[in-house]
Amino acid sequence: MAEGLRERKKRQTRQYISDVATGLFLERGFDAVTVAEVADAANVSVNTVYNYFPAKEDLFLDRSAGVVDRLARWVRGRPKGESAAAAVLRELREEVEAVSPRLGLMVDYARFMQVIHEAPALRSRLWAIGQDILVNLEEALREETGAPPEDSLPGLVAGQINWVHQTVMSAIGREMMAGRNPDEVSREILVLLDDMEDLLSRKVLNYAVRAVE
């Protein structure tokens, strides 16, 4: 369905407020900027800001909605004959090889991560996002395998797959904060992915293979 004028204006307003807020946070730090200051800089009311962003943390981590279902989306979209773990490993490798900004492989990511590390509220929210990613992945594995609620295997496998994702994201964040070149970090992360795949058991690597027929 085509986006209506009202929806487009709301999306554009939300994006503008987010961009203004992000610029202020990157310049001065998260804790040093108030929501009122964001509203003033964006030429909107404080209530308008809260209408689009329920919490101050949402202003900076506004794209988290596209992250929390990332692993679950990759698993659900895997082709026939591919397992859940193989799908996530493949998708990660493709993103890393492309030096994708979606994984933080960009020069400006260093400042973004610095803002997070300096703000306890953002670190807490980042942890919560990580938990949401894990929960969504386990739900996807249960749906894909038809596992009953009492079966612990989907949760255990989700934990192993999520470990790969978290390790990659942490390594990228650490190296980019150290001022590394994105292309160099990309090559090192590909090696890291190979090492982590070697550590995964056959049971994990062969779990939830999508049926060919």
Task: Answer for the pair 75, 82: CB distance below 8 angstroms, yes or no.
Answer: no
Can you give the three-state secondary structure of 167-183, one letter per residue?
Answer: HHHHHHHHHHHCCCCHH
Residues 105 and 96: beta-carbon distance below 8 Å: yes
Mean pLDDT in the chain?
Answer: 94
- CA 31 vs. chain centroid, Å, equals 22
pLDDT of residue 66: 78
Would you state the pLDDT for residue 2?
63
CA 22 to centroid of chain Cα atoms: 17
* Burial group, residue 104, by CB count within 10 angstroms (0-12, 13-18, 19+): buried
Give residue-wise pLDDT tens across range 3-17.
Answer: 688 888 988 999 999
Instruction: Report pLDDT digits (tens) over 51-90.
Output: 999 999 999 998 777 789 999 999 999 999 999 999 999 9
pLDDT at 35: 97
Supply the pLDDT for residue 1: 56
pLDDT tens digits, 97-133: 999 999 999 988 999 999 999 999 999 999 999 999 9
